[in-house]
Amino acid sequence: MAIVLGPNRYGKAETRLVRVSRDGDTHSLADFNVSVSLSGDLAETHLTGDNSGVLPTDTMKNTVYAFAKKHGVGEPEEFALLLARHFVATQEQVFAARVSIESIAWERLGPHSFQRKGDYTRLASIVVTDEFEQVVSGLTGLVLLNSTASEFHGFPRDEYTTLPETTDRILATAVDARWRHLSASTDFTKSYAGAVEAMTSAFVNTYSYSLQQTLLSMGSQVLSQRPEIAEIRLALPNKHHYLVDLSPFDLANDNEVFIAGDRPYGLIEGTVTRDDAPPAAAEWYL
Amino acid sequence: MAIVLGPNRYGKAETRLVRVSRDGDTHSLADFNVSVSLSGDLAETHLTGDNSGVLPTDTMKNTVYAFAKKHGVGEPEEFALLLARHFVATQEQVFAARVSIESIAWERLGPHSFQRKGDYTRLASIVVTDEFEQVVSGLTGLVLLNSTASEFHGFPRDEYTTLPETTDRILATAVDARWRHLSASTDFTKSYAGAVEAMTSAFVNTYSYSLQQTLLSMGSQVLSQRPEIAEIRLALPNKHHYLVDLSPFDLANDNEVFIAGDRPYGLIEGTVTRDDAPPAAAEWYL
Amino acid sequence: MAIVLGPNRYGKAETRLVRVSRDGDTHSLADFNVSVSLSGDLAETHLTGDNSGVLPTDTMKNTVYAFAKKHGVGEPEEFALLLARHFVATQEQVFAARVSIESIAWERLGPHSFQRKGDYTRLASIVVTDEFEQVVSGLTGLVLLNSTASEFHGFPRDEYTTLPETTDRILATAVDARWRHLSASTDFTKSYAGAVEAMTSAFVNTYSYSLQQTLLSMGSQVLSQRPEIAEIRLALPNKHHYLVDLSPFDLANDNEVFIAGDRPYGLIEGTVTRDDAPPAAAEWYL
Amino acid sequence: MAIVLGPNRYGKAETRLVRVSRDGDTHSLADFNVSVSLSGDLAETHLTGDNSGVLPTDTMKNTVYAFAKKHGVGEPEEFALLLARHFVATQEQVFAARVSIESIAWERLGPHSFQRKGDYTRLASIVVTDEFEQVVSGLTGLVLLNSTASEFHGFPRDEYTTLPETTDRILATAVDARWRHLSASTDFTKSYAGAVEAMTSAFVNTYSYSLQQTLLSMGSQVLSQRPEIAEIRLALPNKHHYLVDLSPFDLANDNEVFIAGDRPYGLIEGTVTRDDAPPAAAEWYL
């Protein structure tokens, strides 16, 4: 038996980049949080501290800023591809580069004035090797709520089950979603906007008997409207809204007054996919 | 010399209330985080554990939910006043009630469907006693950015000063503001919307030589447009955007590529007031 | 009526300083988060953008680092005094300097090896003017729990009261405390350790009929053991542990199984003071 | 082409449990955050909203509390196994149960008095199916620092490299670790304590030429001292401490004054394994 080094990678996480583009007096803004991670022939630094293959993470940071100037940034998927291709192409000992970007949205208030949108965060996560390029897009923190049109009943009851059945409840969730593209050449602006719109309208328009049913509806809607997307993963916390018992105060509560709970929460996770989609080339995560 | 009990208060913090109102098929939503704090003749519980004056904080929570049903909630200032008046009126030993509410905004997506707005949070903080009612409104987390029209120079230099002067920089801040009303009888819907609009447009339209100048401009604009407001306090972190030195890479950086810094940050705090405003009746805080 | 500038101040918040001291091979570590805020004759920058009195906040940051080298840091109160005195002494237009420090503790693992203690954070907040020096020490995040020896009953019941009385409950809190010193010349090492020990042992040894009673006991113990302290403010959230109703499962629950609640929580706030203590020279906050 | 449901699971996350055990007057405390996730024959609820296989997540929460009473909790791995086995054994449509527990440590202050340790959090994550039981233990948030005995040089330099080489720097990290056990029958008390001690002492005692080298040393030390552990994954953020340039102030800085940086940070990830360890039966995550 021997103790051996297994899979490993390293990089620079959370390089904060704000890129201003000036079209005369009218400015536009990209606000990215960029994380780079490289893997390849990197055992030596673990084994002996020989760093001859270890491009400094400080250099990755510099590259983010230099590339933002030289090439502009575009959509997060595009900037991530640009960076990932660079590291694989220029560092012989690097076989795979993963670049993940959080993109913070700003709303225009004037030619050079902006207000940050805090509703949710757009995500992109790219893996590039010599053999393939895999593009995953996503978002986190999109909170949606239906104040009715949600039921939950017909579930099995064991000795620890006390939950009453309900035919009218609040259904709320904070959408965390990632979707894998079929190709690295896509109109990512249009694709992202379309995926968000598909998810949101599916949530709004599904009369729901379980959050699982809503999840499948959201995922299916994205795939049916966006042919460029191979599969989608959704993690939907069930943000419970508990009906307050007002009977001690001689008050009825017809689904009007709720406690918004923090913990615990239900958590529904699922993948929706095309049955003919090629398998993922690299691990991807929700 | 004796050791004595000084000022004290107690209450229930962060009662999470979601109130659904149904107008036929069209629902509306109030999402509040309510904190209640009472003071008065409450020394005995500290001194001997005699709780005969200590209305349970659990009762405060119940009251929030029962009142939401009985009276509806309206604007956060109105619901806070309702609650504060109740505690002072019904608990003889309570001389002052402070009720603070964070109000989370939701955007309508359908007759009973909503998306949470995460941009910033509306605040109300009310103090009611037998003698007066003081209403403070506010917001926190409104992030604004001008990508130009900001300079900073002419400052004193001591032996520890290395900062270069600049005639073009990003100016960004996360507005934290509270404003005190002249009266508890106000159209709070209109007042809040007007104050936010005044602050935002002052930020956008001020050509700024210091964040202090922008602060005064924002406060002045609120007071000049909203006659119902006596004074306003602003805490404006200077969310520094550092110009990246790209010269090692033979690249110019004409205010295009920035590092968004986390810490440290400048912090500018100031009050803007009417010179004839009556003084505050109770302590209030930013 | 005119709109005028009221109280204002500015400074650099959250300068992160780690200071290593080397005594031969044995190192020691100070880990501070330093915030500086200055007030004085600073209206001009608000009114006209004239910055001739505005020492840059960047200079304050530099001063923190330069002073850490020149003078070492010592206890957080001492380093804060050093900095505050400097700004008042050297900047004519500055009348008052407030310096606040969060101090992160590390446990020694070896001559130059350390593990961060995350239990709670030590605080110091100093105000220096030409007329006075005021020193406030404190801590935040010290979580204490008694699993018995706590009762709560005898409270008034109104129409919204449903809470049962109890003669045995968990009492838990996250101590947030600040205490004002009588003088700026104190053995702060000994004073801080003594105050923490007094608070903690009072919590442990008080058989409690209300968290208010525990609060007074904690504050009194600090003042009786530490003659250098004039007064202490405590904010004690009641970290509720709800007894789980196991009766649906035919199980008893004799104070054995609890839900640790997040929100809402009781919040007990109080000051304990010496009746002959001189009043505070400057506002101080919990 | 058809759109189909892929892998899915559901459960209750973050059930907060505090379990008091009474041995006469001396109490002990377990403080757990329990997350349960089930997978199996659960497609129907996604497809049609038929919940006949969907044991409510509320029932999972109840089961956590009831089992804490009936069986006590023991080590987090043991309690997680107990719960996971129960769901697989009693719900025919459930093929796999994953139970993850965060365990918060408390230090004893008296027979029934405790202080929360906030240094780091112990973790356990168990998967049980009819075919296997897989136990993963871990911790997160253990912050370690060496103030010397760390170098970094000999790295490749490309056109974006500006980092100077160094033969003396601070090395600091916040350890995030998970390790997979060879069996579900282990002395988890001893195993956990031994793994923490091995990781910590390896960090302290490794003269480091790269954080990668320290990572391998930490992982190797755990495996060489704990024969019950098959493999370990470590994610080590490089918590950068930047040497402050004090030369503008005519001060030297011989590794004494540092800026503790927030973002960006290096991130080193790696697995250390036995070459004869059987492969994992289920996916596990760091």
Least CB–CB distance from D160: residue in B159, B249, B263: B249
The whole-number average pLDDT for the span A240-246 is 98
Query: Looking at the structure, do residues B170 and B120 belong to the same domain, yes or no?
Result: no
Contacts of D62 in chain A (CB under 8 A): 160-162
Together in a domain, A179 and A206? yes
Q: Which of A12, A61, A181, A241 is catalytic?
A: A12
Nearest Cβ partner for B248 among D162, D249, D263? D162
Picking from A77, A98, A131, the residue at the C-terminal end of a domain is A131
Residues of B in contact with C213 (CB under 8 A): 45-49
- Which among A102, A131, A160 is the end of a domain? A131
Smallest Cβ distance to B213: which of C2, C49, C61? C49
Chains that touch C (3 or more CB pairs under 8 A): A, B, D
**With helix as H, strand as E and coil as C, how does chain D read?**
CCEEEEEEEEEEEEEEEEEEEEECCEEEEEEEEEEEEEEECCHHHHHHCCCCCCCCHHHHHHHHHHHHHHHCCCCHHHHHHHHHHHHHHHCCCEEEEEEEEEEECEEEEECCEEEECCCCEEEEEEEEECCCEEEEEEEEEEEEEECCCECECCCCCCCCCCCCCECCCCEEEEEEEEEEECCCCCCHHHHHHHHHHHHHHHHHHCCECCHHHHHHHHHHHHHHHCCCEEEEEEEEEECCEEECCCHHHCCCCCCCEEEECCCCEEEEEEEEEECCCCCCCCCCCC
Contact residues, chain C, for D109 at CB < 8 Å: 144, 200, 204
The span from the CA of C19 to the CA of C30, in Å, is: 5
pLDDT band at D119 (very low <50, low <70, confident <90, very high): confident
How many folded domains does chain A comprise? Answer: 2
Asked if the model's pLDDT at residue D91 lies above 90, the reply is: yes
Asked whether residue A239 is domain-assigned, the answer is: yes
pLDDT of res. B119: 87
Give me the numbers of helices (H) and strands (E) for chain B, helices first please.
Answer: 5, 12
Same domain, C117 and C166: no
Instruction: Kindly report, residue by residue over B20-42, the tens digit of the pLDDT.
Output: 999 899 999 999 999 999 999 99
Chain B to chain D, count of Cβ pairs less than 8 Å apart? 9
pLDDT band at residue B186, thresholds of 50, 70 and 90? Answer: very high
pLDDT at A286: 86
| Calpha distance C18→D143 (Å, rounded) | 14
Confidence of residue A103 (pLDDT cuts 50, 70, 90): very high
Contact assignment for A210 to D54 by CB distance below 8 Å? yes
- Best interface-test mutation with C: which of A258, A263, A265 has the largest number of C CBs within 10 A? A263
- Rounded distance between C-alpha atoms, residue D150 and residue A179, angstroms: 41
Angle between helices C211-225 and C188-205 (to 10 degrees): 150
**Shared-domain flag, residues C142 and C278:** yes
Q: How many CB atoms lie within 10 A of CB C72?
A: 14
Check residue D189 and give its pLDDT: 98
Tell me what pLDDT residue C89 has.
98
pLDDT score for B286: 86
- Report the alpha-carbon distance of residue A196 to residue A207 in Å, rounded: 19
Q: Catalytic residue among A45, A57, A121, A271, which?
A: A57
% of chain B with per-residue pLDDT over 70:
100
The domain boundary, picked from C89, C112, C131, lies at: C131
Tell me if C238 is assigned to some domain. Answer: yes
The answer on B187 and B54 residing in a single domain is no
Q: What is the mean pLDDT of chain B?
A: 97
pLDDT tens digits along D6-57: 999 999 999 999 999 998 999 999 999 999 999 999 999 999 999 999 999 9
Cβ count near C134 (within 10 Å): 22
pLDDT of residue C233: 98
Q: Give the per-residue pLDDT at B260.
A: 98
The answer to whether position C112 is within a domain reads yes
Model pLDDT, residue D1: 80
Judging contacts by C-beta atoms under 8 Å, the chain B residues touching residue A257 are 17-20, 65, 68-69
**pLDDT for residue A107:** 97
pLDDT (0 to 100) of residue D118: 81
The answer to whether residue A1 sits within a structural domain is: no
B252 pLDDT higher than 90: yes
Compute the distance between CA of residue A149 and CA of residue B25 in angstroms, rounded to an integer. Answer: 11
Give the pLDDT of residue D149.
97
Query: Does residue A20 form part of some domain?
Result: yes
Q: How far apart are CA D50 and CA D42, in angstroms?
A: 9
CB nearest to B162's CB, from D248, D262, D263: D248
Q: Do C55 and B155 touch (CB under 8 A)?
A: yes
Please check whether residues B112 and B221 belong to one and the same domain.
Answer: no
Please check whether residue A285 lies inside any domain of the structure.
Answer: no
* Measured distance CA(D2)–CA(A276) in Å, rounded: 8
**D192 beta partners:** none
Q: Terminal CA-to-CA distance of chain C, rounded, Å?
A: 35
Regarding whether A268 and A186 lie in a shared domain, the answer is: yes
- Tell me if the bond preceding A111 is cis, omega within 30° of 0: no
Closest residue in C to B165 (Cα–Cα) = C56
Q: How far apart are CA C35 and CA C13, in angstroms?
A: 4
Indicate whether C234 and C146 sit together in one domain: yes
The whole-angstrom separation of Cα D210 and Cα D199 is 16
d(CA C15, CA C80) in angstroms, rounded, equals 12
Average pLDDT of span A214-231 = 98
Using the predicted structure, report yes or no on whether residue D77 has a pLDDT greater than 90: yes
Residue from B33, B50, B59, B233 whose CB has the most chain C CBs within 10 Å, to mutate: B59
Q: Is the link from the previous residue into D264 a cis peptide, with omega within 30 of 0?
A: yes
Whether ipTM > 0.85 holds is: yes
pLDDT of D286:
86
Judged by CB atoms closer than 8 Å, whether chains meet at D262 and C16 is answered as yes
Contact A69 B251 (CB under 8 A): yes
Q: Given an 8 Å threshold on Cβ–Cβ distance, is B16 in contact with A260?
A: yes
HEC sequence for B65-100: HHHHHHHCCCCHHHHHHHHHHHHHHHCCCEEEEEEE
Same domain, B115 and B170: no
Q: Please list the ranges in chain C whose pLDDT falls under 50.
A: none
Q: Using CB atoms, pick whichever of D1, D59, D162 lies closest to residue A161.
A: D59
Cis omega (within 30 of 0) for bond into B264: yes
- Chain A: list its partners (3+ Cβ pairs within 8 Å): B, C, D
Beta carbons within 10 angstroms of residue D250's beta carbon: 8
On the question of pLDDT at D58 being above 90, the answer is yes
What is the mean pLDDT of the segment spanning A109-120?
95
Which residues in chain D touch residue B262, judged by CB atoms under 8 angstroms apart?
262-263
Query: Percentage of residues in chain B with pLDDT exceeding 90?
Result: 98
Residues D122 and D260 grouped into a single domain: no
Shared domain for C103 and C138, answered yes or no, is no
Q: Which of B6, B154, B160 sits opposite C63 (nearest CB)?
A: B160
How many residue contacts between C and D have a Cβ separation below 8 Å? 172
Structural domain boundaries enclosing C211: 134-286
Judge whether residue A1 has pLDDT over 90. Answer: no
Catalytic residues of B: 12, 57, 240
The CATH number of the domain where A268 resides is what?
Answer: 3.10.270.10
- Identify the pLDDT of residue C118: 81
Residue A216 lies in a domain: yes
Residue with tokens 């009007």: A256
Helix runs in chain B, H state only: 43-48, 57-71, 76-90, 188-205, 211-225
Residue D107, amino acid:
E
Distance from CA of C159 to the nearest CA of A (A): 7
Instruction: Provide the annotated active-site residues of D.
Output: 12, 57, 240
Average pLDDT over residues A177-199: 98
Instruction: Say which residue the tokens 């806070």 belong to.
Output: B80
The token duo for B31 is: 């999402």
Identify whether B3 is part of a domain: no
The pLDDT assigned to C183 comes to 97
Cβ <8 Å between A159 and C249: yes
Q: How far apart are CA B218 and CA B234, in angstroms?
A: 9
Asked if the Cβ–Cβ distance from B159 to D249 is below 8 Å, we say yes
Q: Are residues D115 and D245 in the same domain?
A: no
pLDDT of res. A119: 87
Report whether pLDDT(A279) > 90: yes
